[in-house]
Amino acid sequence: MAVGIFDSGLGGLTVLDACQKRLPDVPFVYFGDNAHAPYGVRDADDIYNLTTAAVERLWDAGCDLVILACNTASAAALRRMQENWIPRDKRVLGVFVPLIEALTERQWGDNSPPREVEVKHVALFATPATVRSRAFQRELAFRAIGVDVEAQACGGVVDAIEDGDMILAEALVRSHVEALTRKMPSPDAAILGCTHYPIMEKEFQDALGADVKVFSQASLVAESLADYLVRRPEMVGKGTETTFLTTGNPKKVSDRATQFLRRKVEFVSA
């Protein structure tokens, strides 16, 4: 009864950790495409091809439901996958939905016309590919009006986190926040639009200031998944064991993942 979680690298482990805490009886299969990370600098076709290959591997591992715990894949590939690729007995969900539900305070199934929401000025921090896709702005526009979104492509942050260079990551966060606030001096809220970024949530908050509400994805996705499985229990697949798969070097990825989660993690070759 496993659920698949996919990311281009280690960032999706923040989502996995939250999901395991929220759903301790559900086994998860995590797939990290570390050999091809980061996705944020790739073009849309490349991201689509890599993402579909990873999802197929998770289906083979017994996961009928796969969470794309990768904003870049969610932004650049998910809609195309849902339109003409995913079989009827499988589901692939992205990570934008829980964020937008939280931001607009309305459920995804609420198809009433867009309306004004409390938040008016939103800072979006994401990878270059996610920013180019404008997927967040498109989905938000279906549900809210009068919201100004300023996006900042945070080049280098994912690489620094994956390399374990947190000093560089913090410096880059501060630089990107400064660049955004030159364009939007007083955001009401900030979206950490990459699953790597919760690792740097404190640094984003410190750089933005205490008055800015920071939305981070991991706990929101976990709660959304729990609700989804209550409504669609048949989507829990036939897998029975929690497994960690990688296209990279298993020992190297395991060592970094253990540091990332502060608990022992052992990856095997995908």
**245-251 contacts at long range (C-beta below 8 A, 24 or more positions apart):** 245/29, 245/30, 245/31, 245/32, 245/57, 245/61, 245/269, 245/270, 246/31, 246/32, 246/33, 246/34, 246/35, 246/270, 247/32, 247/33, 247/34, 247/35, 247/36, 248/32, 248/34, 248/35, 248/37, 249/34
Quick one: fold of 3-94+218-269? Rossmann fold (3.40.50)
pLDDT score of 244: 97
Confidence at residue 176, expressed as pLDDT on a 0 to 100 scale:
98
Q: Residue 109 above 70 pLDDT? A: no
Structure tokens at 245: 């798969």
Q: Is 130 annotated as a binding residue?
A: no
What residues does each domain of the chain span? 3-94+218-269, 97-217
Whole-angstrom Cα distance, residue 130 to residue 47?
11
Pick the CATH number of 97-217 from 3.40.50.1860, 3.30.590.20, 3.40.50.620, 3.40.470.10: 3.40.50.1860
Q: Tell me whether residue 243 is annotated as binding.
A: no
Q: What is the mean pLDDT of residues 166-190?
A: 97
Helix and strand element counts for the chain (H, E): 12, 12
pLDDT tens-digit map of 58-94: 999 999 999 999 989 998 999 999 998 999 999 999 9
Percent of the chain with pLDDT over 90: 68
User: Which pLDDT does position 1 carry in this prediction?
Assistant: 63
Q: What is the pLDDT of residue 237?
A: 67
CB 270 within 8 A of CB 58: no
Catalytic residue among 19, 63, 70, 154: 70
The helix (H) or strand (E) run that includes residue 151 is strand 148-153
8 is in an annotated binding site: yes
Q: How confident is the model at residue 112 (pLDDT cuts 50, 70, 90)?
A: confident
**Residue 127 near residue 39 (C-beta atoms within 8 A):** yes
19 is catalytic: no
Helix, strand, coil share (%) of the chain residues, nearest 5: 50, 15, 35
The reply to whether 111 sits in an annotated binding site is no
**Cβ 240 vs Cβ 28: under 8 Å:** no
**Domains 3-94+218-269 and 97-217 fall in the same CATH topology:** yes
pLDDT on residue 179: 98
Mean pLDDT of 16-34: 95
Over range 17-42, report the average pLDDT.
94
> What tens digit of pLDDT does each residue of 196-237 get?
898 899 999 999 999 999 998 888 899 989 988 988 888 886
Cα separation, 76 vs 137, in Å, equals 13
pLDDT at 143: 85
Query: Which is higher by pLDDT, 189 or 113?
Result: 189
Average pLDDT score over residue span 13-31: 95
The catalytic position among 19, 63, 154, 194 is: 194
Question: Does pLDDT of 106 surpass 80?
Answer: no
- pLDDT band, residue 16 (cuts 50/70/90): very high
* 154: annotated active-site residue: no
Give tens-digit pLDDT for 118-176: 899 999 999 998 999 998 898 888 889 999 999 999 999 988 988 889 999 999 999 99
Q: Any binding-site annotation on 249?
A: no
pLDDT at 107 over 80: no
